[in-house]
Amino acid sequence: MKNIRTIIKNNWKIIIFILTLLIFLFIAEDVLEKQLFTFDTSLYHFLVKLRNPILNGFFISITHLGGFIALGSISCLGIIFIKNKSDRILICVNIVVSFIMNVLLKYEFARQRPIEDRLISEIGYSFPSGHAMVSTAVYGLFIYFIYTKLKNYRLKNFFIGLLVLLIILIDISRVYVGVHYASDVLAGTCFSIAYLILILSYKKEFDVKKFFIRRHYN
């Protein structure tokens, strides 16, 4: 047991990376075969039954926090307040790359959105969810910054918990308002978790200042 715990503790990033990537690939395979999962329809109908004016307003507001305008604004604030130049560039690259990857994946899989009981209008393909994928990438990067830079333990846990909850609520909101299947948001979130682990594991290799210093002396 101790050996297993040690292995997990020392390799948790690799384990989460592999697990989230496998979940994405498992879902993607069925999407290519034009199949729906059981939990797609069951969760969708469950959330539709919960609809009421208060929850409708709440989840419509939440879903906008996963939109490009909100995420772009959050990224701009991060660029303003974070002093490290490499981190600023990483914020810019992160939102642009995650958005482009989502667009490419949407056109690759070309899955149609649910057509029944929509609370909002939405265009484009369904898989993977752009709100889930890009918001996980953007808010997930800020979770990393909070974890590595904020010294106050209580504030660190509070803000990390708040952002994790926000990501989950954004995912739920996309199914609740009727513009995505649950597999869309699960796949989008898993893809971005794997993507973030990959780029943050090699963050030092992409340090902008070190890159230019190496080029200067070479």
Give the residue among 78, 97, 83, 86 at the shortest CA–CA distance from 208.
Answer: 86
- DSSP H helical segments within 115-207, as ranges? 130-149, 153-176, 182-201
Give the residue among 40, 44, 176 at the shortest CA–CA distance from 120.
Answer: 176
pLDDT for residue 157 is more than 90: yes
pLDDT for residue 215 is more than 50: no
123: DSSP letter: -
**Structure confidence at residue 116 (pLDDT):** 78
The secondary structure element, H or E, covering residue 40 is: helix 38-49
**Structure confidence at residue 216 (pLDDT):** 45
Q: What is the average pLDDT across 142-154? A: 90
SS3 content of the chain, % helix, strand, coil (to 5): 80, 0, 20
The CA distance from 176 to 52, in Å, is: 11
Asked whether the whole model's pTM tops 0.85, one would answer yes
**Structure confidence at residue 185 (pLDDT):** 95
**Structure confidence at residue 3 (pLDDT):** 66
**Structure confidence at residue 7 (pLDDT):** 61
pLDDT for residue 6 is more than 70: no
Q: Burial, 213: exposed, middle or buried (Cβ in 10 Å; 0-12, 13-18, 19+)?
A: exposed
Contact between residue 45 and residue 38 where contact means Cβ atoms under 8 Å apart: no
pLDDT tens string 162-211? 999 999 999 999 999 989 999 999 999 999 999 999 888 876 555 544 54
Beta-carbon contacts of residue 137 (< 8 Å; ≥ 6 apart): 94, 95, 98, 192, 195, 196
Please say whether the dihedral angle defined by the alpha carbons of residues 139, 141, 135 and 13, taken in this order, is positive or negative.
negative
The residue with greater pLDDT, 7 or 16, is: 16
Average pLDDT value for the chain: 86
Alpha carbon 103 to chain centroid, angstroms: 14
Q: What is the average pLDDT across 112-116? A: 84
Q: What is the average pLDDT across 57-81? A: 92
Taking each helix axis from N to C terminus, what angle separates 208-217 and 85-109, rounded to the nearest 10 degrees?
110
Q: What is the average pLDDT across 28-36? A: 85
178: DSSP letter: T
The CA distance from 16 to 129, in Å, is: 20
- At 191, the amino acid letter reads F
pLDDT tens string 73-99? 999 998 888 888 888 889 999 999 999
**Structure confidence at residue 121 (pLDDT):** 84
